[in-house]
Structure 1
Amino acid sequence: MRRGTAPPYRPTMRIPAVESRSPRDWAVDVVAFLLAVGFTALAYVDGVERRLDPAVLAVDAILGGLGCLGVWLRRRLPVGFAAPVIAFSVFSSAASGVALLALFTVAVHRRFAVVGLVTAGFAAASVGSVVVRPDVPLPTWPLAALGVVCVAAVLATGMFVRARRQLAGSLREQARRADLERVAQARSQERKRIAREMHDVLAHRMSLVSLHAGALELRPDAPAAEIARAAGVIRDSAHQALEDLREVIGVLRAEVDCDDDAPERPQPTLADLPALAEESRRAGTRVRLVSRVADPASVPPAIGRGAYRIVQEGLTNARKYAPGAEVSVSVHGGRGDGVTVEIRNPWPSDTEETAIPGAGSGIIGLAERAELAGGRLEHGHTSAGDFRLWAWLPWQP
């Protein structure tokens, strides 16, 4: 072989895997083997009573015994078991009983065309047995009819077992696919939920960065203390945004546990609203927060988190579309009445522009969040000229 050339391809033979028998399969095979041995013994005793030639008896017993041993191979090689046993039945009366078992096995494990061919071979062997062995009497019409009924019953039973197994296998496959689809849907919903969480967080952080960066751009001659404060806010917001982004990328790369309803990170509650309002005030937004929830810590985590995200998105939108305007935030509710969140800010004039871009999906995500929690969300202009974001989230008693 020359250097640098690949070795010639040599096909290899693959040996089929041996299916392990269940305890039920072992019990069925043992019963089938005992029935075959019993029929072979009865055929041998009948031959002895009819004073058949010893050589004929020996051949009958040997072929019948081989057929009995083949019972243990019938699951792996149904046709390979049936073909020699049917051939044995031409010369051995003892093997004719095992041939019926072979017909049943083929009917269970093979398609209808193969079953038909094996049945035709069995019929030919029955005729050949009468021709080859003169000691076998010609069957009368009642016996022939009984034989046909027995063969039909064996075939019908085998095909019924086959159809039942196929139905059971189809149901198991459908259940498996349904389970895979359920897992896929759960993972997709989990990732969408994480995406909503990170949209709310990153939009809030990036709006702070953009706002302060724009202020530094417009006022390069601002006092050093004000520039340092703005730079600190930019640094902290960018750092927190990077941490949030790193967290969500790690979650999306890993396998998400779909049975866990709690978000990975962060997990704000209703008690964190004052800190959120103070953060927006440090960023230059005038925020007036009124909270009439007696015990914010007792609010269910999912409801508190949803209310927090709604307020966070409302403040982010106010910074984007109404910079410098005062934002009014009202949160009230109680156990059994639900939690109501209302955010108002003056609607900007047509000539007022903002440099902060928006994807327009924040309100849509909040509406989906509210619907998933069993609540509702409304937004739009008011008669007073304000923009109003209102949401209600259920709080079970």
Structure 2
Amino acid sequence: MRHFHRIHRTRRDWAADLGLFLFAACFAAVSSQSIPVSETLSPAWRAADQAVGGLGCAALLLRRRWPVQLAVVLLLAGSVAHYLTGPAMVAVFTVAATRPWRATAWVAALAFAPLPVFLWQLPDMAEDRAGSAVTYFALIAGSIGWGLFRRSRQQLIDSLRERAELAEADAESRAERARMEAREEIAREMHDVLGHRLSLLSVHAGALEYHPGAPPAEIARAAGVIRESAHLALHDLREVIGVLRTGSGREAVDGDRPQPELADLERLVAEARAAGGRIALIGPAELTGLRGLTGPADGPAPPPLAGRTAYRIVQEALTNVRRHAPGATVEVTVAGQPGDGLTVEVRNARPPLPPRSDPGIGEGGGQGLIGLAERARLAGGELTAGPADGGFRVHAWLPWQG
């Protein structure tokens, strides 16, 4: 059984249909005086012709459901009914404006099929009939042309609307991606900072646990370091929670909070040494204290992004040493110059003690190294990490333009 779907028409569609119906009816009424009618036709035939014209105008309400069929019927009936010219014009316009090119071509071929016969009979045709036929073909051609223009314009509008929607969706996608990147940056930042703070806190707390008989001065110093590390960790945690609550972007990461740079490596290494780490800075004499990379008197400074990334790489590498290789000696090498790039290497020897199994301290799942590799990539460099000579080696190269 065949089912027909009901066409939903908006108020605008009804207004257009009513307007075209009135156009066809008015056209038939206005042009009735110029239609050549044979004197041999009876009044009944003329009345029937007018009734057929009225039915043709009413049939235009079906043009949205069956546009091609309606156009074919009106064109065929129009060859004998003079008042169907207006409805036929609306029908062929609808086909040209709403149907594919193939359907439009077939309807146009049907409409102009009588044209060769008309041209052949033109010399023997009365002047009024010849003028009426020429006008009819001109009106049909104009209707098809206007329908094609209407369809092309609608296709252009649809294309522009689709492009606008795609551009809007792309803009929303870029904004969401930027927010996600900012939050990932915050997560990497807090992983590095909190990991460093908590690992120091764990080292000093472990020293108090395993050496309860240590001198009071040493116990007081370790307790002070624990208190300060816990305070700084809480401060950093409050910062990131505040940023996530406000939904700020990357500006919140690089905003008022001072970012570390290459010059802060001395302080970082000093903190690690205070926690019992055996760490050496290796490099040329001017780089041992890192002043050769940060002081304008000894040469140009590396880009802030490269310096900050190098600091985070060393910080995370030292944190991993405390977690997975406690007591191992560590060598931190920093070198570079404009044009060659900035090279950072952190290498630790075989650990003398097995890794601690403190809950939450010795568990990293490799996410720290993944974050470091992503940091280096975002800075335009590269990072490699893996076992070396019984220990572990982290090597990074960062761009430093000349």
What letter matches 1:116 in structure 2?
P
8 Å CA contact 1:86, 1:95 repeated in 2: no
Paired residue for 1:296? Answer: 294
Which 5+ residue runs of structure 2 have no aligned equivalent? 1-9, 32-62, 86-127, 296-300
Task: Mark the CA change 1:264 to 1:249 in structure 2 (over 3 Å): closer, same or farther.
Answer: farther
8 Å CA contact 2:325, 2:353 repeated in 1: no
8 Å CA contact 1:342, 1:388 repeated in 2: yes
Q: CA deviation at 1:270?
A: 0.1
Report the TM-score, using the length of structure 1 for normalisation: 0.67
Report the TM-score, using the length of structure 2 for normalisation: 0.66
Q: CA deviation at 1:273?
A: 0.6
Counterparts of 1:95 and 1:198 in 2: how far apart (Å)? 83
8 Å CA contact 1:285, 1:326 repeated in 2: yes
Pairing partner for 1:330 from 317, 333, 356: 333
Paired residue for 1:390? Answer: 395
Q: CA deviation at 1:222?
A: 2.3
State yes or no: 1:86 paired with 2:39. Answer: no
What letter matches 1:375 in structure 2?
G
Q: CA deviation at 1:207?
A: 0.3
SS at match of 2:396: strand
Counting aligned pairs with the same residue, the percent is 44
Counterparts of 1:221 and 1:128 in 2: how far apart (Å)? 119
Query: Mean alpha-carbon deviation: is it higher for 201-210 or for 276-285?
Result: 276-285
What letter matches 1:295 in structure 2?
L
Q: CA deviation at 1:258?
A: 5.3
What letter matches 2:332 in structure 1?
V
What letter matches 2:135 in structure 1?
L
Task: Mark the CA change 1:221 to 1:116 in structure 2 (over 3 Å): closer, same or farther.
Answer: same
Q: CA deviation at 1:237?
A: 0.8
Task: Mark the CA change 1:338 to 1:328 in structure 2 (over 3 Å): closer, same or farther.
Answer: same
Query: Mean alpha-carbon deviation: is it higher for 200-209 or for 284-293?
Result: 284-293
Counterparts of 2:218 and 2:343 in 1: how far apart (Å)? 37
Paired residue for 1:366? Answer: 372
Counterparts of 1:175 and 1:211 in 2: how far apart (Å)? 53
State yes or no: 1:287 paired with 2:279. Answer: yes
8 Å CA contact 1:370, 1:391 repeated in 2: yes
SS at match of 2:64: helix
Query: How many correspondences in the alignment?
Result: 303
Paired residue for 1:214? Answer: 206
8 Å CA contact 1:183, 1:258 repeated in 2: no
Larger-gyration structure (1/2): 2
Query: Mean alpha-carbon deviation: is it higher for 330-339 or for 75-84?
Result: 75-84
What letter matches 2:367 in structure 1?
S
Which 5+ residue runs of structure 1 have no aligned equivalent? 1-74, 97-111, 132-136
8 Å CA contact 2:386, 2:393 repeated in 1: yes
8 Å CA contact 2:326, 2:355 repeated in 1: no
Counterparts of 1:223 and 1:172 in 2: how far apart (Å)? 73
Paired residue for 2:323? Answer: 320
SS at match of 1:374: coil
What letter matches 2:395 in structure 1?
W
Counterparts of 1:95 and 1:209 in 2: how far apart (Å)? 98
Q: CA deviation at 1:393?
A: 0.9
After superposition, give the CA deviation of every residue in 1:236-260 in whole Å (9 maximum; x if it has no partner): 1111111111111222222333589
Query: Within 5 A, what are the aligned runs for 1:168-317?
Result: 168-257=160-249, 262=254, 265-290=257-282, 292=287, 293=290, 294-296=292-294, 298-317=301-320
8 Å CA contact 1:344, 1:387 repeated in 2: yes
Counterparts of 1:156 and 1:311 in 2: how far apart (Å)? 69
8 Å CA contact 1:194, 1:263 repeated in 2: no
After superposition, give the CA deviation of every residue in 1:65-117 in whole Å (9 maximum; x if it has no partner): xxxxxxxxxx9835315404632652467989xxxxxxxxxxxxxxx937939
What letter matches 1:200 in structure 2?
D
Task: Mark the CA change 1:176 to 1:270 in structure 2 (over 3 Å): closer, same or farther.
Answer: same
8 Å CA contact 1:380, 1:388 repeated in 2: yes
Paired residue for 1:342? Answer: 345
Q: Aligned-pair RMSD on alpha carbons?
A: 3.5
Counterparts of 1:175 and 1:335 in 2: how far apart (Å)? 41
After superposition, give the CA deviation of every residue in 1:103-140 in whole Å (9 maximum; x if it has no partner): xxxxxxxxx937939x86xx69x979579xxxxx9883
Q: CA deviation at 1:164?
A: 0.8
What letter matches 2:376 in structure 1?
A
State yes or no: 1:161 paired with 2:164. Answer: no
